[in-house]
């Protein structure tokens, strides 16, 4: 409602039109690289080798995509990514909700000190703990397992921070009434408060899933066997040798195939994704 710019008050002026044309032109330039790889993915590999300009005219083919179905490991990688990102998201939601309720509503010794320590954890960059984690997981023989890929994400304090804030914003009268009815703490959490936190669950869930799906560093050093690659690592492993341009179309079709699920999800859940990502940045 309040987002009217000064230009809108006086109606659509020439200045507005020029700005609109400029942002549309820039958006087209921004999308050009994506259009380029989609076009490449629809071309025959041999034809590309002889003449790159053939991208701009027929014949196009879906053979590269058919080849993915037949030969590529992409499906295994997608499965791995779904298991890792899905598992991490569910566990993060459970742990953060429990802890958020605990920090926001219950009192126990050292509560405030513990909460401050968790908040300080927000400032620790991944690189400051990676090497020690890697060593720890080597001893535990966790590398190249699903739990090895999932567990490090559970330590991230962002979810606890977000859920604690959210629980604090819920009026206390709600649970106090239930408390006087002798409801157990867990029942209050589960029946009274948790249903109210669904918007925060959506934000946290989307943010966790997306960052885990796109994570590049930990899976690179932990899931080093080809059958344990996540999609992000798997696609990276295919791009080492494309300078020869053999199978260029095929490589591009893999990239399109790998990027499409997230872009499609984005189309449907755009609002939530934008809120989740920008909310997480500001904390």
Partner 1 sequence: MAEATLSGSASAAKAATRQAVQNVNAPLWRHAVFVAPYLFFFVTLLVVPLFWSMWLSLHKADAFGVGRFVGIDNYLRLFRDKIFIQSVGNTFYFVFLTVPALALIGLLLALALNRKTKSAAALRAVYFSSSVLSVTIVTLIWRIVFIGNFGLLATVYGWFGATAPAFLSDPKLTMIGIAIATVWWCIGLPMMLFLSALQQVPREIYEAAALDNASRWRTLWHITLPSIRRTFVLVIIIEIVLQFQLFGQARLMTQGGPNNVSKPIVLYIYEAAFTKWDLGLGAAASEILFILIMIAAMAQYFISRRRGEEG
**Residue 79 binding partner 1, by CB under 8 A:** no
Contact (Cβ atoms closer than 8 angstroms) between residue 57 and residue 177: no
Nearer to partner 1, 69 or 278 (CB): 278
User: Minimum distance between the CB of residue 262 and partner 1, rounded to whole angstroms?
Assistant: 5
User: Minimum distance between the CB of residue 71 and partner 1, rounded to whole angstroms?
Assistant: 19
Interaction mask 136-155, partner 1, x per CB under 8 A: x--------------xx-xx
Residue from 46, 108, 225, 268 that binds partner 1 (CB under 8 A)?
A: 108
| Helix axes of 74-105 and 248-282: crossing angle, nearest 10 degrees | 0
Nearer to partner 1, 58 or 123 (CB): 123
Site for partner 1 in 12-41 (CB under 8 A): 15, 19-20, 22-24, 27, 30-34, 36-37, 40
**Residue 75 binding partner 1, by CB under 8 A:** no
**Residue 112 binding partner 1, by CB under 8 A:** no
Vertex 31: Cα angle to 25 and 34 (nearest 5)? 160
User: Minimum distance between the CB of residue 69 and partner 1, rounded to whole angstroms?
Assistant: 20
Rounded Cα gap, residues 270 and 283, in angstroms = 20
**Residue 214 binding partner 1, by CB under 8 A:** yes
Residue from 3, 14, 113, 241 that binds partner 1 (CB under 8 A)?
A: 3
Contact (Cβ atoms closer than 8 angstroms) between residue 223 and residue 144: yes
User: Minimum distance between the CB of residue 129 and partner 1, rounded to whole angstroms?
Assistant: 4
């Amino acid at each position: 409602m309040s987002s009217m710019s000064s230009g809108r008050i006086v109606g659509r002026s020439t200045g507005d039109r020029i700005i609109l044309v400029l942002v549309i032109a820039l958006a087209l330039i921004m999308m050009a690289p994506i259009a380029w790889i989609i076009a490449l993915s629809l071309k025959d590999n041999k034809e590309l080798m002889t003449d790159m300009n053939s991208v701009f005219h027929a014949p196009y083919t879906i053979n590269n995509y058919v080849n993915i179905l037949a030969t590529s490991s992409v499906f295994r990688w997608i499965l791995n990514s779904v298991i890792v990102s899905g598992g991490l998201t569910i566990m993060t939601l459970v742990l953060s909700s429990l802890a958020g309720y605990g920090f926001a509503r219950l009192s126990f010794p050292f509560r405030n000190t513990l909460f401050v320590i968790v908040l300080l954890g927000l400032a620790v960059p991944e690189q400051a703990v990676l090497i020690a984690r890697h060593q720890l997981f080597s001893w535990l023989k966790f590398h190249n397992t699903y739990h090895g890929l999932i567990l490090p994400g559970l330590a991230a304090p962002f979810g606890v921070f977000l859920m604690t804030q959210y629980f604090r914003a819920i009026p206390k009268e709600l649970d106090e009434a239930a408390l006087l009815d002798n409801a157990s703490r867990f029942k209050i959490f589960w029946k009274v408060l948790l249903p109210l936190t669904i918007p925060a669950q959506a934000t946290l869930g989307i943010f966790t899933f997306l960052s885990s799906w796109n994570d590049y560093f930990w899976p690179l050093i932990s899931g080093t066997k080809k059958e344990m690659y996540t999609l992000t690592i798997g696609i990276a492993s295919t791009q080492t040798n494309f300078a020869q341009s053999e199978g260029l179309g095929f490589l591009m079709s893999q990239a399109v195939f790998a990027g499409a699920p997230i872009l499609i999800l984005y189309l449907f859940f755009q609002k939530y994704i934008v809120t989740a990502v920008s909310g997480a940045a500001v904390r």
